[in-house]
Amino acid sequence: MIDMDTIVSLCKRRGFIFQSSEIYGGTGSCWDYGPLGVELKNNVKRAWWRDNVQLRPDMVGLDASILMHAAVWKASGHLDHFTDPMVDCRGCQRRFRADKLDEGEWVHYCAATKGNKFMVPAGEPCKHCGARRTLCPACGKGGLTDARQFNLMFKTFMGPVEDAAAVTYLRPETAQGIFVNFDNVLQAMRLKLPFGIAQIGKAFRNEITPGNFTFRTREFEQMEIEYFVMPGTDEEWHQRWIDERFAWYQEYGLRKENIRLREHEKDELAHYAKRCADIEYLFPMGWSELEGIANRTDFDLKQHSQFSGKSLEYFDEESKQKVIPYVIEPSAGADRSTLAFLVDAYHAEEVKGEKRVVLKFHPELAPIKIAVLPLLKKNNQIVETAKKICADLRRRWYAVYDDTASIGRLYRRQDEIGTPFCVTVDVQTVGDAKATADQKVTIRGRDSMEQIRVPISAVEAVISDLMSGQWAAVAKQTGLVA
In the complex, the residues that contact ligand GAP under the rule CB under 6 A are 173, 175, 205, 207, 216-217, 220, 222, 224, 289-292, 329, 331-333, 335-336
* CB atoms inside a 10 Å sphere around CB 237: 19
In the complex, what is the shortest distance from the CB of residue 463 to ligand GAP, in angstroms, rounded to a whole number?
Answer: 33
Cα distance between residue 372 and residue 366, in whole Å? 15
In the complex, what is the shortest distance from the CB of residue 361 to ligand GAP, in angstroms, rounded to a whole number?
Answer: 19
Considering the complex, state which of residue 270 and residue 376 has its C-beta at the smaller distance from ligand GAP: 270
Cα distance between residue 181 and residue 372, in whole Å? 47
Considering the complex, state which of residue 205 and residue 369 has its C-beta at the smaller distance from ligand GAP: 205
Closest CA to 417 of 481, 366, 474, 343: 366
In the complex, what is the shortest distance from the CB of residue 412 to ligand GAP, in angstroms, rounded to a whole number?
Answer: 32
Q: Is 214 exposed, middle or buried (0-12, 13-18, 19+ CB in 10 A)?
A: buried
Cis ω for the linkage preceding 420 (within 30 of 0)? no
Cα distance between residue 419 and residue 8, in whole Å? 19
Q: Which residue has the CB atom at the shortest distance from ligand GAP?
A: 333
In the complex, what is the shortest distance from the CB of residue 132 to ligand GAP, in angstroms, rounded to a whole number?
Answer: 29
In the complex, what is the shortest distance from the CB of residue 170 to ligand GAP, in angstroms, rounded to a whole number?
Answer: 13
Considering the complex, state which of residue 21 and residue 439 has its C-beta at the smaller distance from ligand GAP: 21
Cα distance between residue 433 and residue 104, in whole Å? 68
> Is residue 175 within 8 Å of residue 73, measured between CB atoms?
no
Considering the complex, state which of residue 216 and residue 275 has its C-beta at the smaller distance from ligand GAP: 216
Which amino acid type is present at position 328?
A: I
In the complex, what is the shortest distance from the CB of residue 3 to ligand GAP, in angstroms, rounded to a whole number?
Answer: 20
Considering the complex, state which of residue 90 and residue 271 has its C-beta at the smaller distance from ligand GAP: 271
Considering the complex, state which of residue 66 and residue 405 has its C-beta at the smaller distance from ligand GAP: 66
Q: In what order do the strands lie in the sheet with 219-229?
A: 59-62, 195-204, 219-229, 326-333, 286-297, 275-283, 259-263
